[in-house]
A and B are shown apart, each in its own frame.
Chain A
Amino acid sequence: MAMFSQNPLMNGPNYSFSQTPSTAAAGNKEHSFYPYTDNGGSTLAISGNDFTIIAGDTRSTSGYNINTRYSPKVFKIGGTTSSQDDATLVLSVVGFAADGAALKERLDAIVKMYRYQHGKPMSVKACAQRLSTILYGKRFFPYYVTAILGGLDEEGKGAVYSYDPVGSYEREQCRAAGAAASLIMPFLDNQVNYKNQYIPGSGEGHALQEREKIPLPRNEVEDLVKDAFDSAVERHIEVGDGLQMLIITKSGIEEKYLPLKKD
């Protein structure tokens, strides 16, 4: 075609690179290695007046296989020793477990160094900000995890911070993450924040009065967490085996483990 054309511009540019695709150039070796995977599982955090509960199931999966029935995804952060007995912060990570473990170790080292350098434990607020910068530091090769950080704020009130994989974060009353997040979160909206609940007989239609929002006591939150996970286990194949709960109060971090269905 081009050889009959006096004016190349009339039927295209006719330059050797003119048809270069704007996507990956042809002839380049395709990388079949994919550096991520999904290890399933789900986490959940709820803050109360003077406590925070962070929970996660203990199943680790790859595809339809169960890797193990006990692989914790909630961790104490920033204690003075490896046993983390005096830790005041809790981090949960769900998604790609190898990135989760790497993130947890990095944050733990940083919070330990903070205590060493400043002579005081790191506040949740400071740790929350720092975690965001760690995640954003790998903006173009992200940690493939949904992180939730919990602790008590400067006033002793329960604090929960939730993240996306590249570091967007927000303080919240409650948050579910991971495989069954979409199953648990609506339940939490209804049972923790009383969404769509109205006072019986208080009016018609839009005149109905909303149910008063009051922080829940600890035993009720624990029951909500158990019910949320029991329901998630029924409807999501990647959730099950065990439920690990870390409860942060001013007297320390208490751990509870409950079995879940193993099917």
Chain B
Amino acid sequence: MNHLPQAWGRPRDDVYGAYDHAYLQNGPKQHTQSPAVTGTSVLALKFKDGVVIAADNLASYGSLARFTDVKRLRKFADTTVVGFGGDVSDMQYLDRLLNSLDIEEAYGGSSHTLNAQNLHTYLSKVMYKRRSEFNPLWNQLLVAGLDGEGKPFLASADLLGTTFSSPSLATGFGAHLAQPLLRKVAFDEEAAAKLTVEEAVEAIKESMKVLFYRDARSLDKYSIAVVTKDGIDLKQDEKLEKQSWAFADQIRGYGTQIN
């Protein structure tokens, strides 16, 4: 009697050879277990009468800077811009989803459209549902625009369905590097409500530059959008200006080397 039940009814190795697992290769359903082509930081900052949001135009394939003309800011219904960090194929899926949502909403016939707050609620529920099915959309999104009362709105949603809102937000590497810089100009909602467009855009551009210096998965070409009640001003082919590299030719060796 063999007392190991897992062997009962199985062919014996010494008679038939080791069991061949090859035919079992069509295993469990494949979900996004890890991101492949990725976008890095998205930055956004509220100001007096709107929100500025920016993201560079790079889609990396691991450490390879694979696609250098990928637009990661998406307009929605004249009042909202969504910025995508993380997996690019999942970003493109969400883009199609938002297209069909936009079309569905247009069937209503009323002039009423989804505002930034509505869109953020929608997207965060999509993200939470997908994580609960163990099939996440591997992104962190920033939703920038105006809420139902026409006030500046900025909020985040990520692959786990976590949501939060703040006067300034940054995803990925930007959360470490840009967020401290942005908090200097907009420490709280009151401070953000005093910022002008120029100040806000300047702070975002400065942060994008710091990220290009320090983030190995970033690019000096970027998109930037300003959302106000007058509409969306989206520029998709900006180039970082006034970089500081002149100090570098003074640096020699790693310690005692003179020339």
Contact = CB atoms under 8 A, between A and B. Distances in A.
B6 A71 contact: no
Q: Which applies to chain A's interface (DSSP): helix, strand, loop or mixed? A: loop
Interface in A122-176: 141
B12 A8 contact: yes
A84 B47 CA distance: 29
Contact of B14 (A5, A35, A60, A102): A5
B19 A17 contact: yes
Interface string A5-39: 10011000111111010000001110111011101
Interface stretch (A62-70, A199-207, A208-216, A224-232): A62-70
B6 A28 contact: no
Contact of A65 (B10, B34, B165, B179): B179
Nearest to A99: B161
A15 B13 contact: yes
Interface in B157-192: 160-166, 169, 175-176, 179, 188
Interface size class of A (residues with CB under 8 A): 35 or more
Contacts of A69: 166, 188
B13 A67 contact: no
A2 B33 contact: no
A185 interface: no
A97 interface: yes
A258 interface: no
Nearest to A100: B162
Given A28-B28, A33-B136, A15 B12 contact: yes
B34 A18 contact: no
B131 interface: yes
B175 A65 contact: yes
A53 B151 CA distance: 32
Contacts of B12: 8, 14-16
A35 B7 CA distance: 35
B31 interface: yes
Interface in B3-26: 4, 6-7, 10-14, 16, 18-19, 21, 24
Contacts of B136: 33, 35
Given A31-B134, A67-B156, A69-B166, A18 B4 contact: yes
Nearest to A35: B131
Contacts of B175: 62, 65
Contact of B18 (A9, A13, A16, A27): A16
B89 to A, nearest CB: 15
Interface string B106-122: 00000000000000000
Contact of A29 (B19, B21, B28): B28
Contacts of B18: 16
A68 B165 contact: yes
Contact of A15 (B7, B30, B31, B161): B7
Interface of A: 2-3, 5, 8-9, 13-18, 20, 27-29, 31-33, 35-37, 39, 60, 62, 65, 67-71, 96-98, 101-102, 141
5 contacts: A8-B14, A15-B12, A18-B10, A65-B176, A68-B165
Given A16-B12, A16-B13, A67-B164, 10 more contacts: A16-B7, A16-B19, A18-B10, A27-B21, A28-B28, A31-B134, A35-B160, A37-B160, A67-B166, A97-B164
Interface of B: 2, 4, 6-7, 10-14, 16, 18-19, 21, 24, 27-28, 30-34, 128, 131-132, 134, 136, 156, 160-166, 169, 175-176, 179, 188
- The 9 nearest A-B residue pairs measured at CB: A16-B19, A15-B7, A2-B14, A98-B161, A68-B166, A68-B164, A67-B164, A18-B7, A98-B162
